[in-house]
């Protein structure tokens, strides 16, 4: 089943945009009410669908990783008002889209493999949604909007009720300026007694939500925040030391984890590589270095890709610099950044000899 799914998906992946358009057209035809769950502009949503599919296909033979991811998705989709009948329409539309663009690679055996795989996926999501007795989303009021640079803002919010996230996880967010355009952001602080959450948001090209957050968010705005997701975390009891690799605002979940670890007297050793193109991209470096000054278990290495005159930093891409130091085969590895940065870093580390089962990253780190 795994082989047939991967081989048929490899055929359709080069036409992923057409696959996504066909999928949503079919879904809205089968279940017209689902159209109201999505924004008017579907461009980013189509991209997100394919990222999710790629992630699932990559993990289809790793149920210990796949099932927790699917259960998180099931809980997260409650915020849209998804009910069981929608899963049947989604499955029909998904198989129809893959079939249309798989051509001769689509056989009765391949169809059965996809149907069985989707049944497992849908069941995991439905069971998780049914078992979750928490809210589908929380309201949170913006307390502070700090413009760090022309394209970067730090936003602090007060949820109406505590959100039980774990340091390193991410949440989906909807802002009043961009209704129905949910985006994923990672809290940059460990859970606090007062419940306040901090997000680091960089404006990205064609980023409807990120540009709005950086440029137009105001204190008093009320956001909606979905259930926590993601598997980035440090197991302090495992005995394993940790390697963290963070690009740009991908430093936010690493900051949250370090913030939490700093509350303990003893910790595993943590080696953090934080990178960007220019010195301005290392906006959180001073805070991280202050952590390192008072916590001897933490080492922070700044990395710059396009600033050869900078001092006190490593030069090159994060993938270059991290693998220059070695394979890190004895470390638990956490990677966060843009999708391209994650792909490049993970690929280079695997080539260098880092075991795949030691590397953790989340699929939705930037929109």
Strand partners, 223: 140
> Domain 138-229 class?
mainly beta
The segment(s) of the chain belonging to CATH 2.40.30.10 are 138-229
Distance CA 84, CA 125 (A): 10
Long-range contacts of 202-210 (CB under 8 A, 24+ apart): 202/151, 202/152, 202/248, 202/249, 203/151, 203/152, 204/366, 204/367, 207/367, 208/41, 208/44, 208/178, 208/181, 209/173, 209/175, 209/178, 209/181, 209/183, 209/367, 210/183, 210/367
pTM to 2 decimal places? 0.84
Identify the bridge partners of residue 229 per DSSP, sorted by sequence position: 170
Instruction: For domain 241-360, give the fold.
Output: Rossmann fold (3.40.50)
Per-residue pLDDT of the chain (367 residues; tens, 9 = 90+): 889 999 999 999 999 889 989 999 999 999 998 988 887 767 767 777 767 777 788 788 888 888 988 998 899 889 888 888 899 999 999 999 999 999 999 999 999 999 999 999 999 999 999 999 889 999 999 999 999 999 999 999 999 999 999 999 999 999 999 988 889 999 999 999 999 999 999 998 777 899 999 999 999 999 999 999 998 999 998 989 999 999 999 999 999 999 999 999 899 999 999 999 998 899 999 999 999 999 999 999 999 998 887 888 999 999 999 999 999 999 999 999 988 899 999 999 999 999 999 999 987 644 4
Token pair listed for 342: 């994650």
Q: 1-131 in CATH: which number?
A: 1.10.490.10
Q: Which part of the chain is CATH 3.40.50.80?
A: 241-360
CA atoms within 13 A on the CB side of 82: 22
């Amino acid at each position: 089943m795994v082989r047939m799914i991967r081989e048929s998906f490899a055929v359709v992946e080069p036409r992923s945009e057409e696959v996504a358009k066909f999928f949503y057209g079919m879904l809205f035809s089968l279940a017209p009410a689902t159209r109201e769950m999505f924004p008017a502009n579907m461009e980013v949503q189509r991209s997100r669908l394919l990222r999710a599919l790629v992630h699932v296909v990559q993990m289809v033979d790793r149920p210990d990783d796949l099932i927790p991811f699917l259960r998180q998705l099931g809980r997260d989709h409650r915020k849209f008002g998804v009910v069981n009948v929608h899963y049947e329409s989604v499955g029909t539309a998904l198989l129809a889209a893959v079939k249309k663009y798989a051509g001769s690679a689509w056989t009765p055996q391949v169809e059965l493999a996809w149907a069985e795989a989707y049944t497992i996926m849908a069941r995991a999501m439905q069971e998780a949604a049914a078992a979750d007795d928490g809210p589908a989303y929380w309201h949170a009021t913006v307390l502070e909007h700090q413009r760090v640079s022309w394209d970067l803002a730090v936003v602090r919010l007060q949820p109406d009720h505590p959100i039980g996230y774990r340091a390193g996880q991410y949440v989906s967010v909807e802002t009043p300026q961009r209704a129905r355009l949910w985006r994923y952001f990672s809290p940059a602080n460990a859970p606090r007694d007062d419940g306040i959450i901090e997000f680091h948001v960089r404006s990205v090209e064609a980023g409807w939500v990120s540009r709005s957050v950086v440029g137009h968010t105001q204190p008093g705005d009320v956001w909606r925040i979905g259930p926590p997701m993601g598997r980035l975390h440090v197991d302090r009891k495992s005995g394993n030391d940790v390697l963290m690799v963070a690009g740009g605002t991908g430093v936010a979940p690493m900051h949250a984890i370090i913030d939490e670890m700093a509350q303990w007297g003893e910790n595993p050793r943590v080696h953090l590589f934080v990178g960007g193109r220019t010195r301005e991209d290392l906006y959180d470096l001073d805070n991280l270095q202050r952590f390192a000054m008072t916590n001897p278990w933490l080492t922070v290495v700044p990395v710059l890709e396009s600033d050869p005159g900078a001092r006190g930093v490593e030069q090159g891409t994060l993938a270059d610099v991290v693998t220059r130091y070695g394979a890190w085969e004895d470390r638990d590895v956490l990677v966060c950044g843009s999708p391209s940065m994650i792909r490049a870093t993970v690929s280079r580390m695997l080539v260098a000899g880092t075991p795949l089962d030691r590397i953790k990253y989340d699929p939705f780190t930037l929109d």
